Amino acid sequence: MLPASALAANPAPALPAPQMALVKALADTYIPRTDTPGAVDAGVPALFAAMLAKWAAPATRTAFLARLDAIDAAGMMAKGKAFSKLSAKDRLAVLKAYDAANFSAPDYKRMRDLFLILYYNSEPGATQELRYEHAPGAFEPSLPITSETRAWAGMSFF
């Protein structure tokens, strides 16, 4: 994957305004702001647009843009408005229905996964949403060993 620093150093031409609004609304619907920053706060829409321009193969770009158009059409069909013009509640309802109908489509799964990957690889996603614990669990240096004590699984080369 192209690092965010490389994308920031060479900004990609933006998608047309209606598509950028759609990408922003989609990112906000996938990962909204809660007590931690959301996907929009993490810059996911701009990174997604940059990846379409600089990373995606032509077939992938075409497939992703077609999916964006299909999601927008689903909003128009269900609520009579472009997806980006819907309320957060209506966007979620449209996206749940679209997701249920299209979840098994490989191009849709890849696009949706890309939004998640971009978010969780961003600084806010990795440092505020997630937490890192080097050694999870309590350190217990004096566990009694008995005949009933089970060993930890591991490799042995004797």
Q: What is the pLDDT of residues 81-140, one digit of tens each?
A: 999 999 999 999 999 999 999 999 999 999 999 999 999 999 998 888 887 666 666 766
Angle between helices 17-30 and 88-102 (to 10 degrees): 80
Answer yes or no: is 7 within a domain: no
Report residue 87: phi and psi, to 5°.
Answer: -70, 160
Answer yes or no: is 95 within a domain: yes
Instruction: Write out the residue range of the structural domain in which residue 94 sits.
Output: 17-30+37-129
Task: Confirm if 122 and 4 have CB atoms less than 8 A apart.
Answer: yes
pLDDT of residue 3: 52
152: left (phi over 0), alpha (psi -120 to 50) or beta: beta
Confidence band for 80, pLDDT divided at 50, 70 and 90: very high
Answer yes or no: is 3 within a domain: no
Answer yes or no: is 55 within a domain: yes
Answer yes or no: is 54 within a domain: yes
Number of domains in the chain: 1
